[in-house]
Every structure is written in C-alpha cells, then in structure tokens.
C-alpha cells in the first residue's frame, strides 16, 4: 500500500483506452488517463460550476494485465496509488517532467454501473499474490466435519 504521505485516490472516467507495453525483460505496464469532474453550486449565481482535472495513470505487472483486459475508454474507475514525478529530455534537448499516479489498485466504480468480477489465478507472493495457505486442518466434532469451510471462515 502507498505511504500515507504520498497516497492518492481518485474516481473518474478513463479518457483513452489503456495502452499496454512491455519492458525488455517482459514486465507489463499499462498507461491510461482519468478525468475527474468536480461540480459545485456557485453561491452568487446559484448556477452549477464544474472543473475537470486530468491524471495520467501507470500500472504494472498483474494489475496492468487486469486493467488492459477489463477496462476501456469511458469506464468509470476508482484508482488508488502514489504520485510520482518523472523527468526526461526531448530529442531537441528540452527538459520535460510529468507527475503521474502509479496505481496500487484500480477498480470499476459501481456508482453508475454494475460489474462482473472474475478471479485471476496467481501463483504466489512474487507476482503480487498472497503466500500459499497452509493445508486445512479439519475441525473436530460429530462426523469429523470441518465447520463452515476448511479454513474456519464463517459465511457472509
């Protein structure tokens, strides 16, 4: 998770289809834009005013793959991550820099839509997945049946 001093969460609409690229070593990276609209009533005119802010978002590895497979221009999303500044020099020698959001998580917003979630198989902690769970231990009791499930979790 991003540190508290540099974390950001935005909710808005994707402005361009996510663009997938790969590093020379094969690591996936996706970039896309998000427009965040803010509206408020002007107290003097009683009319609605609106401001739109645009953010560039970068996601890596499995998150990048999932974004690329799931989202497109116009999708409403919630993005959480950290702000990062990147600088470079153009071929003409001009110095440029940009501040972008490096995403820790991207989710479809359910405010105005529904979504169907499909779990992706993960192999372990190296690819962002959890460490493998220990083998379940059956709980004692009549007939030797384990409680709600093999891991002792209650249903919801």
Q: Look at residue 18 and tell me if it is in a domain.
A: yes
Residue 74 lies in a domain: yes
User: Which structural domain, as residue segments, surrounds residue 19?
Assistant: 4-40+48-121
Is a pLDDT exceeding 50 seen at residue 129? no
Would 77 be classed as within a structural domain? Answer: yes
37: three-class secondary structure by DSSP:
strand
Q: ∠ at Cα 114 (66, 118), nearest 5°?
A: 35
Q: How many domains does the chain have?
A: 1
pLDDT higher at 156 or 60: 60
Mean pLDDT of the 13-41 span? 94
Q: Compute the average pLDDT of residues 39-55.
A: 90
Domain assignment present for 148: no
Who has greater pLDDT, 151 or 7?
Answer: 7
Burial (CB < 10 A; 0-12, 13-18, 19+), residue 8, is middle
pLDDT digits (tens, 9 = 90+) for 87-128: 999 999 999 999 999 999 999 999 888 888 888 877 655 555
Does the residue 61 lie in any domain? yes
In a domain, 145, yes or no: no
Q: Take residue 66 and report the two structure tokens written for it.
A: 């999932």
Asked if residue 155 has pLDDT above 50, the reply is: no
Strands (E), 42-135: 48-60, 76-89, 95-108
Q: Could you report the per-residue pLDDT of 61-85, keeping only the tens digit for each?
A: 999 999 999 999 999 999 999 999 9
- CATH number of residue 94's parent domain: 2.40.50.140
pTM score of the predicted model:
0.69
Q: Is 2 exposed, middle or buried (0-12, 13-18, 19+ CB in 10 A)?
A: middle
Give, rounded to a whole angstrom, the gap between the first and last alpha carbons of the chain: 26
Q: How many helices (H) and strands (E) does the chain have?
A: 1, 6
Is residue 133 in some structural domain?
Answer: no
């Amino acid at each position: 998770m991003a540190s508290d001093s540099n974390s950001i969460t935005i909710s808005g609409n994707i402005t361009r289809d996510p663009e997938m690229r790969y590093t020379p070593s094969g690591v996936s990276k996706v970039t896309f834009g998000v427009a965040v609209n803010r509206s408020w009533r002007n107290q003097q005119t009683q009319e609605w005013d609106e401001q739109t802010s645009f953010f560039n978002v970068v996601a890596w590895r499995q998150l990048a793959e999932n974004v690329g497979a799931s989202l497109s221009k116009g999708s409403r999303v919630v993005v959480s991550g950290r702000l990062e500044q990147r600088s470079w020099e153009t071929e003409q020698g001009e110095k440029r820099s940009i501040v972008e959001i490096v995403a820790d998580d991207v989710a479809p917003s359910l405010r105005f839509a529904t979504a169907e979630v499909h779990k992706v198989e993960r192999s372990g902690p190296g690819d962002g997945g959890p460490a493998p769970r220990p083998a379940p231990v059956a709980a004692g009791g009549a007939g030797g049946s384990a409680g709600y499930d093999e891991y002792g979790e209650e249903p919801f």
